[in-house]
Amino acid sequence: MVVGAEIVCQQSVPVLEVQFFGKGSDVCEIDEVVSISPRKFDQVRVPEPVSPELSTTSLDISSGDKVPDVSHESSILQFVPNIRSGSFADIGPRRYMEDEHISIDDLCNHYGSLFEFPKPSAFYGVFDGHGGPEAAAYVRKHVMRLFFEDVNFPQTSEVDNVFLEAVENTLRKAFLLADQALADDCSVSSSCGTTALTAFVFGRLLMVANAGDCRAVLSRKGEAIDMSQDHRPIYPPERRRVEELGGYVDDGYLNGVLSVSRALGDWDMKFPRGSPKPLTAEPEFQQVVLTEDDEFLIIGCDGIWDVMSSQHAVSIVRRGLRRHDDPEKCARDLVMEALRRNTFDNLTVIVVCFSSLDHLEPLPTRQRRLRFCTLSAEALCSLRSLLDGNANR
């Protein structure tokens, strides 16, 4: 399903071609929601810069689509994300902290000459543990090795479809490798697991890989766009997958035990190895090409989304950025709001900004309110007498 199109200098480029592409999943259309609920964009096959092989790609434009003018498209091509981030975590009402996270605003600087990435490049991850903190702590401790070094992460200075496909395959392998590592490590209980959501920025491309119920939300001119799907057993496609593999959903829980349908670890629900199981570590991917309309990305654990909508979170962060332009304070604001709404879980938030403060609309100026009152005839006479008396002194 083609959602929109971008035309630049008579080059045909596919934009926002929406489909789910988690391995083995059915392709399904997504209806736009015309309320405060966010729209969902999945796979977007538009690289930056545009490679020669894509310049002749055919483009499907419906008769009702509005083609942007060339000057606007030129500004889109010139856009380069200005990446900065802030994070905040809190134990919440729980006895133990089972969340972990990572934020790297500059992958090129982090790895130096060891890896070659498109610029700018960044990496973020939130790992929400359950059954104990060991699984999330293990993944966080070894995340750079598991997600980059051991999987031979693809290297290039440009983003094209070949690179995107290689990155998807590499990340899928990394999720499964991390899952296997948890099974092999004797310090991690087989009843312990963690969800995982990672977000990558390569040039103008934003890619999100998710297994579990953490969520990534993009703000596009103040509108919330979900960049991940919560993998809960009650979500119809997940329920169908679970039941086809011999599992069941009882009161919203996978096999009556787990509140998520995708996670790393939890090997007491995955043995024996070698065959598909209802609980899987297979991630789903969503991508989008960033433009100057894309302001920031919120990555949060389910403790945030249990008590507020994606749109409400975007509004809080947007308001905070216009006031103090500090993504870390915005992350804290979201955590405090979730606590105020009586969340029952650990809380972790990462806010990643893509544009400068100049791109955000200013807060509306508060007009001075004038108050008026009426006087009775008797009061008016008394006021006149008082004023006349003062004038005669």
Average pLDDT, stretch 129-152?
97
Residue 265 has pLDDT above 80, yes or no: yes
Residue 14 has pLDDT above 80, yes or no: no
Lowest mean pLDDT among 9-13, 58-62, 376-380: 58-62
Average pLDDT, stretch 325-349?
98
Partnered with residue 240 across adjacent β-strands are: none
The helix (run of H) or strand (run of E) holding residue 36 is: none
What does the pLDDT look like over 73-102, one tens digit per residue? 444 567 899 999 999 999 999 999 999 999
Q: How confident is the model at residue 366 (pLDDT cuts 50, 70, 90)?
A: low
- The predicted structure's pLDDT at residue 272: 85
Residue 355 has pLDDT above 50, yes or no: yes
Q: Is the peptide bond before 154 cis (omega within 30 degrees of 0)?
A: no
Domain ranges for the chain, please list them.
81-358
- The predicted structure's pLDDT at residue 263: 98
Average pLDDT, stretch 225-234?
98
- The predicted structure's pLDDT at residue 1: 44
Residue 84 phi/psi, 5-degree rounding, is -155, 150
CA atoms of 172 and 169, how far apart (whole Å) = 5
- The predicted structure's pLDDT at residue 380: 76
pTM of the model: 0.76
In the DSSP assignment, the letter for residue 151 is: T
The C-alpha angle with vertex 304 and arms to 313 and 205, in degrees rounded to 5, equals 60
The C-alpha angle with vertex 382 and arms to 379 and 388, in degrees rounded to 5, equals 140
Residue 176 has pLDDT above 80, yes or no: yes
- The predicted structure's pLDDT at residue 138: 98
Residue 293 has pLDDT above 70, yes or no: yes
Average pLDDT, stretch 167-193?
97
User: What CATH code is assigned to 81-358?
Assistant: 3.60.40.10
Angle between helices 161-184 and 134-144 (to 10 degrees): 140
pLDDT averaged over the chain? 82
